[in-house]
Chain A
Amino acid sequence: MKILLVDDSKTMRNIQRSVLQKAGHSDFEDASDGKEAIEVIQATKPDLILLDWNMPEKNGYEVLKETRASGCRTPIIMVTTEAEKQNVIKALQAGANNYVIKPFTPNVLNDKVTETMANCAA
């Protein structure tokens, strides 16, 4: 399963990658800003997207809307911090499938991934 990690912090992406690798995933794509994210989604058609909210060029919300508008149904998990919890609802209404709050423990992230994939399959 190809997972796209979108975050402007390389460290953050590495952390996510490391956690997911330990759970058995091995196919990753990276994007470090909104514009790149759109391009990579179109080019590589990932199976799951972990989307950060705050990025230069385009932010996560914009990426989300554009992606959904283009008809892409790929499951998207929004990655957010405490302060932005209020935006979660907005994101979910705009088409995000799930959210995870950082800092998250490995278990939480893995659970959310599993949960999201299960719900989308249904």
Chain B
Amino acid sequence: MGADTIQALVQTLSRDVKAMETDDVQFLANLHGQFEQLSDQLATVSLDRTRHATQAACELLESLILEPPDDAQHAVNTLQELIDALDGVICRDVDEAQITFPEALLPDDLASEPEPAPADIEDTTDTPDVMWTLPSTVDQEVIDEFLARQPGILEEMESVILQADQSDDRAAIDQMKRLLHTLKGESSLLGFTAVAEACHLAEDQLLTASVKELGESLLEMKDWLAVTFDRCAQGETLPACPVSRFRSPDGVKTAEQNRITRQSEVTGSDTEGRILNDPDGLIADFAQEANDHLDNAEDQLLALEAEPTNSEAINSVFRAFHTIKGVAGFLEFNDIQTLAHQAETLLDRIRKNTLELSSGLMDLFFDSSDQLKKLIANVQQCLKTGEPLCEDQQIQGLCDRLIAAIDGKVPTNNDSAGQTRSKLGDALVEKGAATDQQVSASLTTQADERGERRIGEILSNDQGVAAQSVGQALREQRQADAPAATPSSGTARQIKDIVKVDAERLDRMVDTIGELVIAETMVAQVVERLDAENTMDEHRVMNQLGKITRELQEMATSLRMVPVRSVFQRMARLARDVAKKVDKPINFQISGEETELDKAVVDQIADPLIHLVRNAIDHGIESSTEDRVQAGKDEAGQVHLRARYQGGNVQIEIEDDGRGMNRDAILSKAMERGIVTADQTLTDEQIYHLIFEPGFSMAQQVSEISGRGVGMDVVRRNVEAMRGKIEISTRAGQGTRLIIHLPLTMAIMEGMVLRVHHRRYIVPTLNIVRMFCPKQDDLSAAFDRYQCLTHGEDLLPICDLGTWLGVTDKPRDPTESVVVVVERDGALAALVADELIGQQQVVIKTLGATMRHAPGVAGGSIMPDGQVGLILDIEAVFRQHTMPKQEDRAA
């Protein structure tokens, strides 16, 4: 019987295939059905080879229908051949083994695979630069924002690579892959084909190698990326990728030709910063609709909590995600589409009963719904404000979990099950929907089952608590928990809620708060003066005001505070590179990187640190490891970069255990360069500080690394511009420690207020060593001309502030004044003022563009009485008041 049917089938097929039109998909589908039927029939007679060929024909038809190839004719020919062969076997009784089935359908008959492309290609040094143009689908703004983001991303990349040496490489791989993946997607959309390709190849290689192994190549790639994006921003041509293993052998392929992995089912990752246009209201509609869908889905999910087999609910949720996915795809909201897609796929498995709905999965769906809502809210926001829509990768962790779940790795959720436990039970008891007994019984059951079922399920199924009550209680709880409930995602990153604020606005706000502080002080003074009686209320009120104002001020300063971490990590990378260049083994450590500084300071500290780190490695550490070992040190040079708070300031230290500084060598070099003369008496500290003088350089040869003695004086100037100072501590043969003292913020300074005549002047506390009232004995006149002050062992030049500032003609008698001893670079001087008013926090204001260069004055501040108090520039004091030299003795 079978034979007849089969024959009939073949004959029909024969006729149909001849009439085949590759355009008519319905026709093709019918053919497919026929071939399937045939295949089934062939199973009953043992014509295996034929059956295989037939099945292959089915697949061929499928691909014709679903992915029309360019050359459909080939497929048609194949099918024709098959039918002829079939005809032979079935209708003409030719032996199966003799028949040649078409090559395309039987793998054994296929020609052998082409040779795989050779793995390593010689590095071609002359790969030309590439010209890059803005793709037509992309706005310039999108590119700008992308480029602005890259430094941060590349920094992260580098940090991951450097960390891979020490910490768990597993986490590093994941993080690295994530970074590469995102970059790949974005760069391919933006026309950076070489970048996309390199990322893709790197990602591939990370499947089998570790970050540590690929370290060098990855660092090289990161550098190349930095240059590429930089050049792009400048409008120049882009360099070809120098890392051979991240370059395809036959020129640049487009990233679109890559295999589609599950995660990039939708076109890679996302365009950055898209401005949303919604002329037809489609986006607004979508957002509205999507939210409705998600609300509905949540309700259904809660119902599923109580009744996991409710197929109507499952379908409902599935449809919700499905619809959202579809429309999101249209409107090119890739994040939303990807997330919805993953959730939908997972739901599909559950729907088809290939996966069981467990409490862990429920959480995932709730999380997905929450996250989708957030993404949609984001879209609505951008639509409203006109800001560009930035799609960031905060969904990555969630997607990973979804994919893991789809693969059958279901997360157990014992922790949150525990949390939900007591809250839900309590909530239900409170509502009167369940009794204490029921709750504790359920808890016991849950413990017995080891968290297999959720407490809600147990309560409703076993204890007969009304499912609706349970659902409602769960929902309320979810709403209450909303911010806290998200379990930690798979990412190593902490997802902080960050708000982007225009830097200028922030500055203005900080300024205004500063002014508020001053105004408050003035008000306080006025209130003081008003009346002495009946001050209880006023005191209290003013105290309150004062407290609030101070709090505001602290918050304002903290707004601009960022950790030094990013700068320190740059140094780590630099140290590694320098160490390589000078070929010394170096152990570079950083600590205290979470220490926070004003953003402006962090930005400016980088350059000085670069010089100091280079110097430490290049000059500080001995060149030969034998010397080090002989001196009892480790072979590897120890260089330590640390930051810490000290008093009201921050200290950044670079310490090395190298040669230390040679006092005599420095002195002689300085004399050689004419920086000091033979007869000047200098303290050790002052001698060490000579290295900061312009034109000084300790290098015998100017090395490429350390430059031409330009480094150190720039360092000092930068540090002083930040109102900081440098301290040197060194021991020959043992090592050197450079400490940079910096104020916590640029805007506020600790200052000592002095009265000179009837005006107030402020000296930075940072520079003050001592204050006292001198006695006659302390005074002396050097060389009969210059007044000096003896102070301990030191002889200090005197600077009479009154005359120096041009306030009065006559200098004061120091014994009837207050003397403030200030220090800079190891040198000391004595300032003479009328009176010491007191120490206070001073809000620094510039004197305006016109007086930026007024000598002697570093800025101004508003005093509590409304007067302007000038802040003295200590450097100017020292410029004019060094101890006199030999030559000046004459005359």
Give the CA-CA distance A9 to B340 in the complex, in Å: 15
Nearest CB in chain B: distance from A34 CB, A:
12
B29 and A8 contacting across the interface, CB-CB below 8 Å: no
Question: Interface with B: A23-31, A38-46, A87-95, which one?
Answer: A87-95
Distance between Cα atoms of A95 and B27 in the complex (Å): 10
Which one of B30, B265, B289 contacts A92 once the chains associate, using CB atoms below 8 Å?
B30
Given contacts A14-B282, A15-B330, contact A98 B25 (CB under 8 A): yes
| A88 x B65 contact (CB < 8 A) | yes
Residue B365 interfacial (CB < 8 Å) = no
With A10-B289, A83-B344, A115-B23 as known contacts, state yes or no: A93 contacts B30, CB within 8 Å: yes
Among A18, A56, A103, the most chain B Cβ lie within 10 Å of the Cβ of: A103
Contact check: which of B24, B26, B329 meets A103 at CB < 8 Å? B329
Closest A residue, CB atoms, query B67: A85
Which residues of chain A (1-21) have a CB below 8 Å from chain B? 8-12, 14-15, 18
In the complex, the chain A residue whose C-beta lies closest to that of B267 is: A103
Given the interface pairs A12-B330, A81-B325, A102-B326, the reply to whether A97 lies near B26 with Cβ below 8 Å is yes
Given contacts A12-B327, A82-B265, A88-B65, contact A54 B280 (CB under 8 A): no
Binding-face segment, B121-129, B229-237, B315-323: B315-323
Report A-chain residues with C-beta under 8 Å of the C-beta of B319.
Answer: 8, 54-56
Chain A residues with CB under 8 Å of B330's CB are: 12, 15, 102-103
Q: Which residues of B have CB within 8 Å of A15?
A: 282, 327, 330
- B348 interface residue, CB < 8 Å from A? yes
Q: Is the CB of B28 within 8 A of A12?
A: no
Give the residue name and chain of the B residue nearest to A119 (CB).
B24
Flag whether B131 is at the interface (Cβ < 8 A): no
Q: B285's contact among A11, A97, A98, A103, by CB below 8 Å, is which?
A: A11
Asked whether B345 is an interface residue with its Cβ less than 8 Å from the other chain, the reply is yes
Query: Is the beta-carbon distance between B348 and A83 smaller than 8 angstroms?
Result: yes
Residue numbers in A under 8 Å from B26 (CB-CB): 92, 95-98, 119
A61 at the interface (CB under 8 A from B): no
Roughly how many angstroms separate A9 CA and B321 CA in the complex, as a whole number?
A: 11
Q: Which residue of B lies closest to A103 (CB)?
A: B329
Question: In the bound complex, what is the Cα–Cα distance between A69 and B517 (angstroms)?
Answer: 82
Decide yes or no: A18 and B323 within 8 Å by CB, A11-B286, A92-B25, A119-B23 being known contacts: no
Chain B residues whose CB sits within 8 angstroms of the CB of A56 once the complex forms: 315-316, 319
Q: Does B635 contact A (CB under 8 A)?
A: no
How far, in angstroms, from A10 to B66 measured CA to CA in the complex? 27
CA distance A119 to B280 in the complex (A): 33
B62 within 8 A of A: yes
Query: Are the CB atoms of B323 and A8 closer together than 8 Å?
Result: yes
CB distance from A13 to the nearest CB of B (A): 10
Q: Which residues of A contact B348 (CB under 8 A)?
A: 83
B151 at the interface (CB under 8 A from A): no
Whether B280 pairs with A18 at a CB distance below 8 angstroms is yes
Residue of B nearest to A98 (CB): B25
B11-27 residues at the A interface, CB under 8 angstroms: 23-26
What residues of A have a CB within 8 angstroms of the CB of B282 in the complex?
Answer: 11, 14-15, 18
For A93, what are the chain B residues with a Cβ–Cβ distance below 8 Å?
29-30, 32-33
Q: Which of A54, A89, A103, A115 is in CB contact (< 8 Å) with B322?
A: A54
User: Which A residues are in CB contact (< 8 Å) with B33?
Assistant: 89, 93
Residues on the B chain within 8 Å of A10, using CB: 285, 289
Known A-B contacts A9-B327, A15-B330, A56-B316; the reply to A92 vs B23 at CB < 8 A is: no
Residues of A within 8 A of B318 (CB): 54
**Residue ID in chain A nearest B29 by CB atoms:** A92
A61–B168 Cα distance when bound, in Å, is 51
Main secondary structure of the interface of B (DSSP, over half): helix
Residues of A within 8 A of B28 (CB): 92
Q: Return the chain B residue nearest A112 by Cβ.
A: B25
A49–B58 Cα distance when bound, in Å, is: 28
Chain B residue numbers with a CB within 8 Å of A99 are 25
**Across the interface, which residues of A come within 8 angstroms of B25, CB to CB?**
88, 92, 97-99
Point out the residue from A54, A98, A102 that lies within 8 Å of B329, measured CB to CB. A102
Chain A proximity of B344: nearest CB distance (Å): 7
> B345 — which chain A residues lie within 8 A by C-beta?
83
User: Beta-carbon contacts of A55-97 to B below 8 Å, as 1s and 0s?
Assistant: 1100000000000000000000000011101001101110111
Q: List residues of chain A with CB within 8 A of the CB of B323.
A: 8-9, 12, 54
Chain B residues, CB < 8 A from A54: 318-319, 322-323
- What is the minimal beta-carbon distance from A73 to any residue of chain B, in angstroms? 12
Q: How long is the Cα–Cα vector from A56 to B344 in the complex, in angstroms?
A: 16
Determine whether the beta carbon of A14 is less than 8 Å from that of B280: yes
C-alpha spacing A82/B67, complex, angstroms: 11
Q: Which residues of B contact A9 (CB under 8 A)?
A: 289, 323, 326-327
A88 to chain B: which residues have CB within 8 Å?
Answer: 25, 29, 65-66
B837-868 contacts to A, CB under 8 A, are: none
Chain B contacts for A18, CB-based, 8 A? 280, 282
Contact status B32-A89, CB under 8 Å = yes
Convert B294-331 into 0s and 1s, putting 1 for each residue whose CB lies closer than 8 angstroms to a CB of A: 00000000000000000000011011001101110110
For the complex formed, measure the closest distance between the CB of B342 and the CB atoms of chain A, giving whole angstroms: 11
Q: In the assembly, what is the distance between CA of A80 and CA of B621, in Å?
A: 68
B259 to chain A, nearest CB (A): 15
A98 to B330, CA, bound (A): 20
CB distance from B280 to the nearest CB of A (A): 6
A95 to chain B, nearest CB (A): 8
Least Cβ distance of B320 to chain A in Å? 10
| Least CB separation from B318: chain A residue | A54
* A91 → B minimal CB distance (Å): 8
Which among B30, B329, B330 has the highest number of chain A CB atoms within 10 Å?
B330
Give residues 89-122 of A contacting B (CB, 8 Å). 89, 91-93, 95-99, 102-103, 115, 119
Residues of A within 8 A of B341 (CB): 83
Q: Which of B60-91 contact A (CB under 8 A)?
A: 62, 65-66
With contacts A12-B327, A102-B326 taken as known, whether A89 is within 8 angstroms of B280 at the C-beta atoms is no
* Measured CA separation A38–B453 after assembly (Å): 41
Residues of B within 8 A of A95 (CB): 26
Structural contact, A11 and B327, CB atoms closer than 8 A: yes
A81–B29 CB distance below 8 A: no
Most-contacted residue by chain A among B322, B323, B326, B329 (CB, 10 A) = B326
Interface-central residue, A55, A89, A91, A98, by most chain B CB under 10 Å: A89
> Bound complex: CA of A55 vs CA of B25, how far in Å?
24
Interface positions, chain B 327-383, Cβ under 8 Å from A, are 327, 329-330, 332, 341, 344-345, 348
By a CB distance below 8 angstroms, the chain A residues around B30 are 92-93
Q: Which interface residue of B29, B289, B316 has the most chain A CB atoms within 10 A?
A: B29
B612 to chain A, nearest CB (A): 55
CB distance from A63 to the nearest CB of B (A): 15
User: Which chain B positions have C-beta within 8 A of A83?
Assistant: 341, 344-345, 348
**CB nearest neighbor in A for B61:** A89
**A81-B322 CB under 8 A given contacts A92-B25, A92-B29, A92-B65:** yes
Nearest CB in chain A: distance from B683 CB, A: 76
With CB as the reference atom, state the residue of chain B lying closest to A16.
B330
Chain B interface (Cβ < 8 Å from any Cβ of A): 23-26, 28-30, 32-33, 62, 65-66, 265, 280, 282, 285-286, 289, 315-316, 318-319, 322-323, 325-327, 329-330, 332, 341, 344-345, 348
Which residues of A come within 8 Å of B, CB atoms?
8-12, 14-15, 18, 54-56, 81-83, 85, 88-89, 91-93, 95-99, 102-103, 115, 119
26 sample A-B contacts, Cβ–Cβ < 8 Å, listed by A number = A10-B285, A11-B327, A12-B327, A15-B327, A18-B282, A56-B319, A81-B325, A81-B326, A85-B66, A88-B65, A89-B32, A89-B33, A89-B62, A89-B65, A91-B29, A92-B25, A92-B26, A92-B30, A92-B65, A93-B32, A95-B26, A96-B26, A97-B25, A102-B329, A103-B330, A103-B332
Extra contacts, 8 of them, besides A10-B285, A56-B319, A97-B25 (Cβ < 8 A), are A9-B289, A11-B285, A55-B319, A89-B62, A93-B33, A103-B330, A103-B332, A119-B26
Task: Kindly list the 8 A-B residue pairs having the minimum CB-CB distance in the complex, ordered from nearest.
Answer: A92-B29, A103-B329, A11-B286, A9-B323, A103-B330, A11-B285, A93-B33, A11-B327
